[in-house]
Structure 1
Amino acid sequence: MSSSRAAQRAFFQRLTRYYGFFTLGFGAFLVALAVLENEGMPRVWIGYMFMFATIVLYASIGLVSRTSNVAEYYVAGRRVPALYNGMATAADWISAASFISLAGGLYLHGFDGLAYIMGWTGGYCLVALLIAPYLRKFGQYTIPDFLAARYGGARGGRAVRLVAVAATILISFTYVVAQIYAVGLIASRFTGVDFSVGIFLGLASILVCSFLGGMRAITWTQVAQYIIILAAFLIPAMWLSAKHSGNPIPQVAYGKLLPQLSAREAALIVDDKEAQVRSIFRQRAADYQHRLDGLPASWENGRATLQHHLDSVRQRNASLIEIRSAERALIAYPKNATDAVGAWTALRDENLARARPVTPHAVPFPGASREESDSKRNNFLALAFCMMLGTAALPHILMRSYTTPSVDQARISVFWTLFFILLIYLTIPALAVLVKYDVYTALVGSDFAHLPTWVSYWANVDRANPLISIADINADGIVQLAEIAIDGDVLVLATPEIAGLPYVISGLVAAGGLAAALSTADGLLLAISNALSHDVYYKTIDPKASTQKRVTISKLILLGVAFVAAYSASTRPGDILSLVGAAFSLAASTLFPALVVGVFWRRANHYGALAGMATGYLVCQFYMLHTNPTLGGSTADQWFHIAPISAGVFGVPAGLLALVLVSLVTPAPDARSAALVTHVRTPEGD
């Protein structure tokens, strides 16, 4: 035992030296690029160097860590020290949604956006208390492994395993599409390539790590990625904090700015120009509603008007620009009355949203009436609930419990994970306030003729779906708040430019966002490929497969899943935060009851587990499809006015109730399953 501890201590010290040198080297790289920028190096080359250097770094770690050993490939040899496992898990956890979208969500929605932070942080407490130590004591490779053993015996192990595999794939695939979408967004902004091309460039970096070395390569890459994420997030926040408050600690300083931001919001609420712009948006929404009420005649009249306008500009030999504009308007017009319903409804809702008055950032659950305020409060609590339980059931996060040397190290690892996550999560609300204050005081009220260059940069990243647009709606030449439309996914990436920092910091933030997306995508793809190769192929189809064959199958599956996910991301299926939120609701509804009940209730059996997972999934999926307009549903069908992203608030109790009831009315589990519960809950198993 003493020799084992000595070896672990030596390994820890060696890792500390390696990552200490890496941190110093990365700092020197930043200083060198800053000097080159000062000497006149073009911005585009700085972006290229950041992208190239970080991708080469991750690829190098992947090559050095390549392995065909099953334990190394699946669980990094179960020898990752708690501190470094905490850093790797934090990087795995701080996805594109956390790094890119969460501050944007807080910027757009104020207090309501805190539901994500509270839910995700609280979820990790559930992981530490209810799941992680017990999974490590079990000592297998995947979450379906645990569920199959716990609920299996001689009767239902295969069925439980396959259902758990299906859940793992569905949850992880939904989540990974959001990460790859973020990769395309970052790559297209900082290299100038097309969005779809950027997705597949980022995919190459993902595959080098996960394909060659599995969990071993991913773990050591994620530690390096966390260091980059931390620097990329803290530096702009500290700069803005010092700029606006004189205090470089954003977590402390932003409290001083909140009263000033509130005063600015109060002034904008009573501003006549703001009211004028919002009135124009209300009128536009009313016009679209009038068109909807007049279908199909309104569609026919609109098409005839556009055709007449095109014929008119052609006949009078108008300029080529005017003719092309008329042609584009006709092409963009809905193809039929059915298409017009969806297009005009979306435009009506967009204009109604922009017509709403300024929402005070620090006011919880603001609403025009008591009913609206209560609805916002209920949605806040429902979202926090889903994020919390979803966190405690995410397969790619729970897999990290298997990589530590012991149960005790697994518990300590969760502590370090929470610590490293909080370094970012406590900064996110501060950054949202700092950027909001900057925009409200510097951009709002400025001259349209002198807009900052970052506006045009981000407006051209994705021309089909602009990430930012500022239009002079009331034609007064002055920017009003209502005339600014910012996508939440752009805020953090544009923060250095908004703050007036050197471009090298923009490159650093892009590298941080890329690291966040890649680290999570690596873990998710590995969770999917391991579920298919280990739980389906090895455990179900070919139990006699050699270790080399098992790893090879996993790599091939990973490759296929990665390309399917990249293709799905290229279709722009939705914003990052919505996709991630859906994955959490699905995880909470499908896996959380089976995992927690399996640890703490001996009477639960495989019939109950199957019923619980199926019922939770079906209720959650039905509610999402039934109430999300993007998926063909209607907001009018919502239960208690709960948004579809929080569908897990119905799926979890339904799944839990089904698991308990079915377990009680069917035969008790065999002695081996009951003994497993006793084993994983006994301290001596450490």
Structure 2
Amino acid sequence: MSTPFFRKLSRYYLIFTACFGAFLLALAMLEKEGMPRLWIGYLFMFATIVLYAAIGLISRTSNVAEYYVAGRRVPAMFNGMATAADWISAASFISLAGGLYLHGFDGLAYIMGWTGGYCLVALLIGPYLRRFGQYTIPDFFAARYGGGFEGRSVRLMAVSATIIVSFTYVVAQIYAVGLIASRFTGVDFSVGIFLGLASILVCSFLGGMRAITWTQVAQYIIILVAFLMPAMWLAVKHGGNPVPQVAYGKLLPQLSAREAQLAHDEKEGEVREVFLQRAEDFGVRLHGLPFSWDSGRQEAQHNLDMVKQRNGSLLEIRAAERALAAYPKSVEEAAVVWTAQRNAALARARPPVKHAEPFPGDSRAQSDQKRNNFLALVFCLMVGTAALPHILMRSYTTPSVRETRVSVFWTLFFILLVYLTIPALAVLVKYDIYSSLVGSDFSRLPTWVSYWANVDKANPLLSISDINADGIVQLAEILIDGDVLVLATPEIAGLPYVVSGLVAAGGLAAALSTADGLLLAISNALSHDVYYKIVDPNASTQKRVTISKLLLLAVAFIAAYAASTKPGDILSLVGAAFSLAASTLFPALVAGVFWQRANHQGAMAGMVAGFITCIYYMLHANPVLGGSIDGQWFGIAANSAGVFGVPAGLAMLVAVSLLTPKPDARTMALVRHIRTPESQ
């Protein structure tokens, strides 16, 4: 595309990239001159938030088409960049490399699933939605599955699904914002959440999809630079090549050799034995409930009394008080806490995961179960991707169906620039830690260890303890949260702190860009599909946009409060959102395009069946939600509940559609229209 608008956008973003490079260079010079690290963190946070706010202010609008779909004039390449930023969420930027670091080959399920999902968007849904030419996903459901009361009922169901899926996803993004802000500005985690929320609201509140689109293009540039710079540095440091993917292939055999060495190291074995004994102790406590809980509580109280009686130091008294305060308050709580602690100890008692070995296990059955979970997760992520409302909304923003198809190509291209680097980064960081940190002296731990250990003292993101008291760091003594790895990579690699600030800005951009899209999807569904289409069809365009802004504000604060409670790790929340989207929306979306016989009753039944099956399995099989691992079907993890929800929803949709009257002539004509190639 070579229109004046395209050339103008290209010029603006080239200038932005040059200015961003100059900003990095200036901060690097200031750091060299002695500027405190905290101020560098403040400058990065302040500068990026001001940038996003400025774009939001410039792009403010009250025009309905501009607010909902950016005027349907976003060029394919820029829509691809915006969609990639919308897609590369906190889970991708912050957690995915950490997941690969911790789980090795098994972590590739996320990359394969999410990338494959975009192929489904291109083939099955995206261009057809653009041909339909409305504002929201519930719009499509209402028009495709009947008018009048039938259209309203299926619209409301699609709105409910959109809200549930998007809200679950956006909580994970805002949680990541709090994590980044608390680390790089020193503010409390909850305060960090609401600081990030201010940036989200300025963009989406003022300009809707128009402001979000142009902000996301800028955010993608920051994401790409922030992710590639430390990866390229580590590639040169350990592989002698600036291309991470090439260095990755060279280092993987060396990493495998190091893993084999650590697996048979005598000192490592000592530490694993300690954790195995701890797991057995927790098992004894669990077996002895409720008496073990009562005796433990009395012992904790006795220890505190004894310290006070012998006039112990203030530190000893505080430690005894903390031990008593942290003790489970009931037998039921003790069962949950001790089970989690036993499982954690058992996990640390196992030899290190072999990074390059697919589906490792102690037996063939265990290996098969890991393989099945891998494939189930890939399936859920692929199908969930093709049903995410905030991603599908971007199909409406291009000028034509052809531009939508080209936009999906650009989206895949821009996503792969990051996604092909993620596995390489995981190996590069793992090799650095295994070769530099493991085996070092505890008295000479690098400073980044203490920084990250103190970010969240209630739930430490990083911990290194001398378990066997030999003064040497063993691999089994290192506990690292997957959400920390990418943010800590510059410090692990020995890069200047300005690069740490850059990575934090990239992580913040990833979280904010996705959160913007998700919040807009929720507020648009409520304002357009509920308020305008059902409550007040005669509302003026100004009133519709105002209602959308107010609803966006309300949803944002509710999501921020939910994130402040730290409901779970980022990847688990994202996995739940994808299974819900796949189970509830995917069957009705695909059938709505490709099967004329699908009707209102079938779509409603399919959405309900898919949602109930997915939710039931999550509650039944997830210990965190009150279920049990023993309740898993075929050993499939709770986050892959969509592997059961999608077939249930599809089967119910087909059965009910065949047992009820076929759609009317108007609906049949609409399906034919959607599937007709655009004449240009």
User: TM class, shorter-chain normalised?
Assistant: over 0.9
1:417 corresponds to which residue?
Answer: 411
2:197 aligned residue (195, 199, 203): 203
TM-score w.r.t. the length of structure 2 is 0.99
- Residue 482 in 1 paired to residue 476 in 2? yes
Q: Which amino acid aligns with 1:623?
A: Y
The answer on whether the counterparts of 1:80 and 1:404 sit within 8 Å (CA) in structure 2 is: yes
1:352 corresponds to which residue?
Answer: 346
1:82 aligned residue (68, 76, 79): 76
1:380 corresponds to which residue?
Answer: 374
Q: Which amino acid aligns with 2:28?
A: A
Q: Which amino acid aligns with 2:630?
A: A
The answer on whether the counterparts of 1:679 and 1:685 sit within 8 Å (CA) in structure 2 is: no
Per-residue CA shift, 1:75-105, capped at 9, x if unaligned?
A: 0000000000000000000000000000000
Show the 5 A alignment for 1:78-117: 78-117=72-111
Q: How big is the shift at 1:252?
A: 1.5
The answer on whether the counterparts of 2:183 and 2:455 sit within 8 Å (CA) in structure 1 is: yes
Q: How big is the shift at 1:684?
A: 3.6
1:389 corresponds to which residue?
Answer: 383
1:677 aligned residue (642, 663, 671): 671
Q: How big is the shift at 1:154?
A: 4.0
The answer on whether the counterparts of 1:153 and 1:672 sit within 8 Å (CA) in structure 2 is: no
Q: Find the aligned partners of 2:453 and 2:314 in 1 and give their Cα distance.
A: 24
Q: How big is the shift at 1:453?
A: 0.5
Query: Aligned Cα RMSD in Å?
Result: 0.7
Q: Find the aligned partners of 1:152 and 1:423 in 2 and give their Cα distance.
A: 42
- Residue 500 in 1 paired to residue 494 in 2? yes
2:66 corresponds to which residue?
Answer: 72
Q: Find the aligned partners of 2:149 and 2:3 in 1 and give their Cα distance.
A: 44
Q: Where does the alignment leave 5 or more consecutive residues of structure 2 unmatched?
A: none
Q: How big is the shift at 1:518?
A: 0.1
2:270 aligned residue (276, 281, 292): 276
SS in 1 for 2:479: strand
Show the 5 A alignment for 1:574-593: 574-593=568-587
Q: Which moved more, 1:238-247 or 1:337-346?
A: 337-346
2:173 corresponds to which residue?
Answer: 179
Q: How big is the shift at 1:238?
A: 0.1
Per-residue CA shift, 1:587-622, capped at 9, x if unaligned?
A: 000000000010000000010000000000000000
Show the 5 A alignment for 1:247-266: 247-266=241-260
The answer on whether the counterparts of 1:58 and 1:209 sit within 8 Å (CA) in structure 2 is: yes
The answer on whether the counterparts of 1:153 and 1:673 sit within 8 Å (CA) in structure 2 is: no
Q: Find the aligned partners of 2:325 and 2:498 in 1 and give their Cα distance.
A: 41
Q: Which amino acid aligns with 2:147?
A: G
Q: How big is the shift at 1:356?
A: 1.1
Q: How big is the shift at 1:106?
A: 0.2
Q: Which amino acid aligns with 1:575?
A: D
SS in 2 for 1:485: strand
The answer on whether the counterparts of 1:65 and 1:213 sit within 8 Å (CA) in structure 2 is: yes
2:430 corresponds to which residue?
Answer: 436
Per-residue CA shift, 1:560-603, capped at 9, x if unaligned?
A: 00000000000000000000000000000000000001000000
Q: Find the aligned partners of 2:176 and 2:151 in 1 and give their Cα distance.
A: 37
Q: Find the aligned partners of 2:409 and 2:523 in 1 and give their Cα distance.
A: 28
1:17 aligned residue (11, 19, 44): 11
The answer on whether the counterparts of 2:131 and 2:678 sit within 8 Å (CA) in structure 1 is: no
The answer on whether the counterparts of 2:134 and 2:396 sit within 8 Å (CA) in structure 1 is: yes
2:120 corresponds to which residue?
Answer: 126
SS in 2 for 1:88: helix
Q: Which amino acid aligns with 1:235?
A: M
Which 4+ residue blocks in structure 1 deviate beyond 2 angstroms? none
- Residue 371 in 1 paired to residue 365 in 2? yes
1:60 aligned residue (54, 60, 66): 54
SS in 2 for 1:669: coil
Q: Which amino acid aligns with 2:58?
A: V
- Residue 533 in 1 paired to residue 527 in 2? yes
Per-residue CA shift, 1:93-128, capped at 9, x if unaligned?
A: 000000000000000000000000000000000000
SS in 1 for 2:387: coil
2:609 aligned residue (603, 610, 615): 615
Q: Find the aligned partners of 2:592 and 2:232 in 1 and give their Cα distance.
A: 45
The answer on whether the counterparts of 1:111 and 1:364 sit within 8 Å (CA) in structure 2 is: yes
Q: Find the aligned partners of 2:246 and 2:665 in 1 and give their Cα distance.
A: 55
Q: Which amino acid aligns with 1:421?
A: I
Q: How big is the shift at 1:685?
A: 5.6
- Residue 547 in 1 paired to residue 541 in 2? yes
Q: Find the aligned partners of 1:677 and 1:588 in 2 and give their Cα distance.
A: 22
Q: Find the aligned partners of 1:585 and 1:337 in 2 and give their Cα distance.
A: 33
The answer on whether the counterparts of 1:137 and 1:407 sit within 8 Å (CA) in structure 2 is: yes
The answer on whether the counterparts of 1:137 and 1:685 sit within 8 Å (CA) in structure 2 is: no
Q: Which amino acid aligns with 1:222?
A: Q
Per-residue CA shift, 1:427-471, capped at 9, x if unaligned?
A: 000000000000000000001111111011001111111100000
Q: How big is the shift at 1:153?
A: 2.9
The answer on whether the counterparts of 1:390 and 1:584 sit within 8 Å (CA) in structure 2 is: yes
Q: Find the aligned partners of 1:458 and 1:618 in 2 and give their Cα distance.
A: 40
Q: Which amino acid aligns with 1:73?
A: Y
Q: Which amino acid aligns with 2:99?
A: G
Q: How big is the shift at 1:155?
A: 5.0
Q: How big is the shift at 1:211?
A: 0.3
Q: Find the aligned partners of 1:318 and 1:563 in 2 and give their Cα distance.
A: 46
The answer on whether the counterparts of 1:112 and 1:365 sit within 8 Å (CA) in structure 2 is: yes
Q: Find the aligned partners of 2:158 and 2:249 in 1 and give their Cα distance.
A: 45
SS in 1 for 2:463: strand
The answer on whether the counterparts of 2:401 and 2:678 sit within 8 Å (CA) in structure 1 is: no
1:233 corresponds to which residue?
Answer: 227
Number of matched pairs? 680
Q: How big is the shift at 1:281?
A: 0.5
Q: Which amino acid aligns with 1:343?
A: V
Q: Find the aligned partners of 2:148 and 2:563 in 1 and give their Cα distance.
A: 41
Q: Find the aligned partners of 1:353 and 1:685 in 2 and give their Cα distance.
A: 59
Q: Find the aligned partners of 1:232 and 1:384 in 2 and give their Cα distance.
A: 27
Q: Find the aligned partners of 2:538 and 2:80 in 1 and give their Cα distance.
A: 35
1:518 corresponds to which residue?
Answer: 512
2:653 aligned residue (659, 667, 677): 659
TM-score w.r.t. the length of structure 1 is 0.99
- Residue 156 in 1 paired to residue 176 in 2? no
2:314 corresponds to which residue?
Answer: 320
2:134 corresponds to which residue?
Answer: 140
Q: Find the aligned partners of 2:155 and 2:257 in 1 and give their Cα distance.
A: 57
Per-residue CA shift, 1:259-304, capped at 9, x if unaligned?
A: 0000000000100111111111011011011001101110111111
The answer on whether the counterparts of 1:153 and 1:670 sit within 8 Å (CA) in structure 2 is: no
Q: Find the aligned partners of 1:551 and 1:259 in 2 and give their Cα distance.
A: 57
SS in 1 for 2:483: helix
Q: Find the aligned partners of 1:309 and 1:226 in 2 and give their Cα distance.
A: 55
